A and B are shown apart, each in its own frame.
Chain A
């Protein structure tokens, strides 16, 4: 994007309990608000095609909604079980997917269960129906009190886009003219990709949500937004991943019950700051699992992440970008985002990038803020020891890399890397840390026992100088 003389509104960005304004200071002129958006609970009535559940999961991830109940025409549940499931789910929105005409009777049966279970819910959920007109009419007859809306087939891009637009409208609810944080980030990612003429991945972790956004230089953006985070949704990360998966990232021995208490306290303490190193390590551990689950859910929903893994630019935002040391943001990102090629990892501390994205999402022209390049990460898994040459203002450094190596080559000024078996020579004008050579292999293998796991983690932490000295 280019600089513009157009009057740019100030942007207010809502966090868990506070609001930041960009530019800071008193509001001068119109204010655009960026909010995380309400949690939208979506129940789904599924026809027989097994692709429908994946397509719906894809749409829900892209729209930042939570799937709270899936009932299928062939799930073997009784009428009452379906009704109880839907009643307990308390959905804000119901999506009925029956593209096959043979699903007509089954989907009407599910609609009857919905009416039986949720007839007294206030407000009644709207029903989005992706089915032909006759099935839609039968559904409308079964659920006369609910508002019925037509939806294109969600297995197709047009249907998914319509679903995402509808989900976002529900998430905005009666908030007036607001931009959702994930919308803003998608717009920012698109602008960066167009600007850089390269694929860009944005990893955003906040207290209540995690986003993984892949933008292509042709303007196509694919975003996955999950209600997992390092703050208010920290307990959801533990519920999803399990406490042991969070604990495995802690670089020191911590008892599981005490760790759970910390997670629960953080979840109920909006915008709390990790004042101790242990709390900071926990925040980093939660961020890893939140990103890992967002990625695995996207893959499970049928999204192809090959292009994202190969993106040459990764930008970190949110709490992930606000960790005190750049090495902390970097380590979290590379531990869970296994790029397949050399990647320049940057971070955008503060809210300037979100603000620029919000303006872009509203069609305003804004200047993208500068982002801080942290490091070029060269991931490799060499069969035998290989040489990597790093050239910067100080000269050339050659590192021998064997499997399991994990090291940082600090650099100054313009950096260029020569790697084995590739003609690509990643280059950067300036890096906060330098070049990270990561030959740990993917997926990362963390030993289960503390006695082996902690020294392994300590070695990785030490390689990047992640934590203050006294805690190593």
Chain B
């Protein structure tokens, strides 16, 4: 099954410095801010418990600013005594970020801000300083790898057929904020142009691996790459190089043009927020065949016939299925939704 309407879960890892978060149980929509926080400069260590002369475990009792709270220069963070008072004050303006086990404190200047937005319509099921998880129902399409930040927008078609290549000439600023559906291949030029035009994301059967490395750097692997918010978002549905989309995948995308959608890069999923009754999309997609030279993949005929053990050009003998283009090793044929990572 390629398209599935189901209840999904999407994790949104948070950077260090979260200052506000959605609460567990809170209803959110894709694009809503789940968490916001600050990025810090070099922190300063401040003597805490030993400065005020108490045990580290008692420091919390005398603190006037909680860990995570904002401070100005000389703000009193903790204080004991009345007439002969002992106090800890902040040497810089910023945020009190951490209390050590020995009672010392770290204060860091604020140098920037960040927000994390939801990629699902649903309910917050987990919320802490490490991650906010949202669970919700949506139509979803599982890809094999996604690159860049999460993206939210409306679906727009940028190709006429599922076998077409996404050309840069089809992309302009009118597509700002949209999730573009490419066909068999999204070239590096189309990725960079779409980013320049403010396109939210590109979803295609495949993208050139070399192009992805140009855009995302050498850290980009076949499993994807997570980057900061300044990079474009690309979701590869089938493979790398060229991979025409099966009709069972492309037709619902065409039918869902204009629908709100999101790309969740960590799970390499496209979520489309349309009602379950939006269409009869949940058909099984045809199997996919990896090219003999591994240069791309293609959808196969619906009815496959075994060709028996076949000797291939590489002299490997293996079970094969027969196709119009010749036999293909059974191992190189996968269902659209087959797991693409090794099983343990």
Query: Smallest CB–CB gap between B339 and chain A, Å?
Result: 7
Residues from 199 to 245 in A contacting B, C-beta threshold 8 Å:
207-208, 231-232, 234-236, 239
Closest approach, in angstroms, between the C-beta of B323 and any C-beta of chain A? 12
Which of B295, B328, B341 lies in contact with A270, CB distance below 8 A?
B341
**B131 interface residue (CB < 8 Å to A):** yes
A275 within 8 A of B: yes
Total residues of chain B contacting the partner, CB 8 A: 60
**Cβ 8 A contact of B344, one of A14, A122, A144, A260:** A14
Selected interface stretch from A54-62, A111-119, A394-402, A405-413: A111-119
Question: Which stretch, A277-285, A303-311, A371-379, A421-429, touches the partner chain B?
Answer: A277-285
Provided the pairs A37-B344, A262-B293, A276-B313 are in contact, do residues A267 and B221 lie with their beta carbons within 8 angstroms? yes
Expressed in whole angstroms, the minimum distance between the Cβ of B102 and any Cβ of chain A is 8
B340 touching A269, Cβ below 8 Å: yes
Are B294 and A274 closer than 8 Å at their CB atoms?
yes
A441 vs chain B, min Cβ distance (A): 30
Number of chain A interface residues as a range: 35 or more
Residue-wise, chain A 158-185 has the 8 Å CB interface mask toward B (1 for contact) of: 0000000000000000010000000000
Inter-chain contacts of A20 with B (CB < 8 A) = none
Q: Is A146 an interface residue (CB 8 A)?
A: no
Interface-central residue, A234, A267, A273, A325, by most chain B CB under 10 Å: A273
Q: Kindly state whether residue A49 has any CB partner on chain B within 8 Å.
A: no
B290/A175 in contact, CB under 8 A = no
Contact (Cβ within 8 A) B343 A16: yes
- A273 and B316 contact, CB distance less than 8 A: yes
Q: How many A-B residue pairs have CB under 8 A?
A: 184
* Distance in angstroms between the alpha carbons of A234 and B240 in the assembled complex: 14
Q: By the criterion CB–CB under 8 Å, are A80 and B342 in contact?
A: no
Flag A411-453 by CB within 8 Å of B: 1 or 0 each. 0000000000000000000000000000000000000000000
Contact yes or no, A268 B218, CB < 8 A: no
Contact flag A14-B294 (CB < 8 Å), given A78-B42, A265-B240 = no
In this complex, the member of B15, B97, B131, B240 whose beta carbon has the largest number of chain A beta carbons within 10 angstroms is: B240
List of B residues within 8 angstroms of A272 by Cβ: 290, 294, 329, 331-332
Taking the closest CB of chain A, its distance from the CB of B126, in whole angstroms, is 8
Q: Does A136 contact B (CB under 8 A)?
A: no
B22 within 8 A of A: no
| Smallest CB-CB A-B distances: 4 pairs | A120-B130, A257-B210, A267-B222, A324-B315
- Residue numbers of B with Cβ under 8 A of A are 15-16, 40-43, 45, 97-98, 100-102, 106, 108, 128-131, 144-145, 208-211, 213, 218-219, 221-223, 239-241, 290-297, 312-318, 328-329, 331-332, 334, 338-344
